[in-house]
Amino acid sequence: MIAFDAATDGYKGTTDINALTYSHTCAPSASLYVWLGVASSRTATVTYGGQSMSLIGTETETNNDVYYLYELQTPASGANNIVITPSGTTVLIANAASYTGVAKSPKTVHTVGANGAFVTSLTNTISISNPDSWMVSACGFQRAPTASTGSVLRKNSASHNLSIFDTNGVIGATGNRSMSYTFASVGTQ
């Protein structure tokens, strides 16, 4: 059975840098999974505990902010460093979440964005083929988000509002599944 393990964030201010390293600790489990959301204007190579993470999705906004999604199946447990090395200097913001009991790497990736529009809420909907699945989402906002319909906020990088949400349990049915987020005030996604 899938269970939430831990969430951490890394942030390197408004100054361009050429790497970001921070620690994330996974509980001992034979079926660990680490999921990482990165906000950056550059592509990057990412490792966790020296293991390469796979890029599984991107979302580009009209203001050229890009959100990258990475995964790693069966990482080492315990405290390990996440190392993000961009293709050039940039501001880096990242959130990681780990889960236990993940039998196989998830492959359904769907990105949604407001593309710089002023919004007070955002909904992400995907088609679920396995009722034992969880849905995990990373979102970047100019305002602090709040979990809404079908979601639990796991980590919000207070310095830049890059957030990780999940469904906090198995979805329980096939078909379309949505997670929604609301914002304290109008801002761009």
CA 122 to chain centre: 15
* N- to C-terminal Cα separation, the chain: 33
59-87 average pLDDT score: 86
Q: How far is CA 29 from CA 35, 73, 115, 147, 188, in A?
A: 15, 11, 38, 28, 38
- What's residue 189's pLDDT? 45
86-99 average pLDDT score: 88
Give the percent of the chain with pLDDT over 90: 21
d(CA 74, CA 150): 27
User: What are the pLDDT digits (tens) for 132-151?
Assistant: 777 777 776 666 777 777 77
Name the most confidently modeled range: 42-46, 123-127, 129-133: 42-46
Global pTM reads 0.82
Asked if residues 166 and 136 have their Cβ atoms less than 8 Å apart, the reply is: yes
Q: How far is CA 136 from CA 23, 41, 161, in A?
A: 21, 22, 16
Residue with token string 């049915």 = 173
pLDDT band, very low/low/confident/very high, at 57 (cuts 50, 70, 90): confident
- What's residue 149's pLDDT? 73
Considering all CA atoms of the chain, what is the largest pairwise distance in Å, rounded to the nearest integer? 45
